[in-house]
């Protein structure tokens, strides 16, 4: 057990941020907060959490929702597979556990999208079970405290830090202890220039003593990003436009977007019209008038950079070459969940 646990927990009780998921032992709400916080910072996550739990106050309400509605509420957080897993897990809780969030770690871990971190967080915070959490904040605190240079994102690193975190866990109050370490990483042991003199763990922090704080944690070299070229066609005709639901094993599955022609490099509009995908989408239809071309700043995702261009077109009818095309009124467009990229485009002038 961590000999510094008392200092750490005392620091937490004095400094912790008041957040609604800290005022509850409801495993469902703690789970929702953990999944949202894996996506975003607390300030933005709070807003999503409040909207999500207001609309879906319990697991049954989430299970009964449509996937489109769940994705719409998730819009802007990214990693939509997490939202789909959240929804699928809620349905499993209803089907397998009678709508009551399970208590056994193995049962929690068996739900879609719930990994070791989330299961440990929910089981320790909601049920007081002795499972140590290891997230980015914990990696940072531990790698500095013990001055460890094993890359935290390598297999040996993950194993080492999981074992270390488990050996340090205060089993008399695991939920409180876990939250204290994570909060220390979020507020005190911050990535850049932490104020070590004010830290409850400065006594005995090896990186502080050795002057290696800025070099911890160590990560593996970054993989090079793949570039993708997305050419979107925002087609208008009499107040209506065309959208498509993304499918297949790719980013943004289940979200809606304008008809897309992906190319292997940046191309102009004339070249776009000669692609096979264009023909699949629109057949021989040629009643388009190009109004504008809106190039977006590079959109960075993990290991990918999307170079997107939106072409604004006026059409003298809505072509229906591809069966996936949906004709919707422009006023209804807001009801459909879209990627952050499309959202940014739609928020631009004259859209």
Which active-site residues does the annotation give?
34
CA 144 from chain centre, in angstroms, equals 26
273 touches ligand SF4 by CB under 6 A:
no
Report helix, strand or coil for 227: strand
Kindly state the smallest distance separating residue 139's Cβ from ligand SF4, in Å.
Answer: 12
Element (H, E) at 127: helix 116-127
Provide the angle, in degrees to the nearest 10, between the axes of the packed helices 136-145 and 155-168: 80
- In terms of Cβ atoms closer than 10 Å to its own Cβ (0-12, 13-18, 19+), residue 284 is exposed
- In terms of Cβ atoms closer than 10 Å to its own Cβ (0-12, 13-18, 19+), residue 150 is middle
Closest CA to 232 of 340, 342, 338, 327: 342
145 touches ligand SF4 by CB under 6 A:
yes
Which of 59, 126, 181, 205: binder of ligand SF4 (CB under 6 A)? 205
- Which one of the spans 75-83, 194-202, 323-331, 334-342 is the region binding ligand SF4 (CB under 6 A)? 194-202
Kindly state the smallest distance separating residue 144's Cβ from ligand SF4, in Å.
Answer: 4
- Which one of the spans 54-62, 88-96, 196-204, 231-239 is the region binding ligand SF4 (CB under 6 A)? 196-204
Which of 24, 85, 202, 225: binder of ligand SF4 (CB under 6 A)? 202
Provide the angle, in degrees to the nearest 10, between the axes of the packed helices 42-55 and 67-74: 150
194 touches ligand SF4 by CB under 6 A:
yes
Kindly state the smallest distance separating residue 147's Cβ from ligand SF4, in Å.
Answer: 9
Kindly state the smallest distance separating residue 33's Cβ from ligand SF4, in Å.
Answer: 24
- The contact pattern for ligand SF4, residues 150-189, with x = CB under 6 A and - = no contact, is --------------------------------------xx
Output 40 or 202, the one with its CB closest to ligand SF4: 202
Element (H, E) at 235: strand 226-237
Look-up of token digits 């770690």 = 105
213 touches ligand SF4 by CB under 6 A:
yes
Output 30 or 189, the one with its CB closest to ligand SF4: 189
199 touches ligand SF4 by CB under 6 A:
yes
| Alpha-carbon span 336 to 69, nearest angstrom | 8
Per DSSP bridges, beta strands 299-301 and 240-245 are unpaired
8 touches ligand SF4 by CB under 6 A:
no
Q: Distance of CA 315 to CAs 238, 242, 245, 287, 323, Å?
A: 9, 11, 21, 5, 18
217 touches ligand SF4 by CB under 6 A:
no
Which of 127, 177, 208, 278: binder of ligand SF4 (CB under 6 A)? 208
* String of DSSP letters for 256-323: EES-EEEESS---HHHHHTSHHHHHHHTT---EEEEEEEEPPPEEETTEEEEEEEEEEEESS----ST
Output 144 or 234, the one with its CB closest to ligand SF4: 144
138 touches ligand SF4 by CB under 6 A:
no
Kindly state the smallest distance separating residue 204's Cβ from ligand SF4, in Å.
Answer: 9
Angle (CA) 175-53-185 rounded to 5° is 35
Output 138 or 341, the one with its CB closest to ligand SF4: 138
207 touches ligand SF4 by CB under 6 A:
yes
Element (H, E) at 228: strand 226-237
By CB under 6 A, name the binding residues for ligand SF4.
Answer: 141, 144-145, 188-189, 194, 196, 199, 201-202, 205, 207-208, 213
């Amino acid at each position: 057990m961590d000999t510094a646990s008392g200092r750490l927990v005392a620091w937490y009780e004095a400094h912790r941020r008041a957040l609604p998921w800290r005022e509850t032992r409801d495993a469902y709400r703690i789970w929702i907060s953990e999944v949202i916080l894996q996506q975003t910072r607390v300030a933005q996550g709070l807003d999503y959490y409040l909207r999500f739990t207001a609309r879906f106050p319990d697991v049954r309400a989430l299970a009964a929702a449509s996937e489109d509605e769940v994705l719409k509420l998730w819009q802007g957080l990214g990693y939509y597979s997490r939202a789909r897993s959240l929804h699928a897990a809620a349905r499993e809780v209803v089907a397998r556990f009678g709508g009551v969030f399970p208590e056994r770690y193995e049962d929690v871990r068996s739900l879609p999208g719930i990994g070791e971190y989330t299961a440990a967080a929910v089981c320790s915070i909601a049920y007081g079970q002795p499972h140590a959490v290891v997230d980015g904040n914990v990696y940072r605190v531990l790698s500095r405290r013990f001055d460890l240079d094993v890359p935290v994102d390598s297999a040996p690193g993950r194993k080492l830090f999981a074992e270390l975190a488990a050996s340090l866990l205060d089993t008399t109050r695991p939920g409180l202890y876990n939250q204290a370490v994570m909060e220390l990483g979020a507020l005190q042991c911050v990535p850049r220039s932490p104020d070590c003199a004010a830290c409850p763990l400065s006594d005995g922090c090896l990186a502080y003593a050795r002057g290696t704080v800025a070099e911890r944690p160590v990560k593996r070299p970054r993989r090079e990003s793949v570039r993708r070229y997305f050419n979107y066609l925002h087609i208008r005709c009499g107040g209506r436009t065309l959208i498509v639901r993304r499918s297949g094993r790719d980013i943004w599955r289940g979200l809606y977007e304008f008809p897309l022609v992906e190319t292997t490099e940046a191309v102009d509009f004339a070249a776009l019209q000669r692609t096979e995908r264009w023909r699949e989408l629109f057949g021989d239809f040629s009643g388009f008038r190009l109004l504008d071309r809106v190039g977006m700043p590079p959109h960075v995702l993990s290991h990918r950079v999307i170079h997107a261009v939106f072409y604004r077109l006026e059409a003298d009818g809505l072509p229906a070459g591809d069966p996936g095309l949906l004709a919707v009124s422009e006023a209804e467009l807001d009801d459909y969940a879209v990627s952050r990229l499309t959202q940014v485009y739609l928020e631009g002038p004259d859209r």
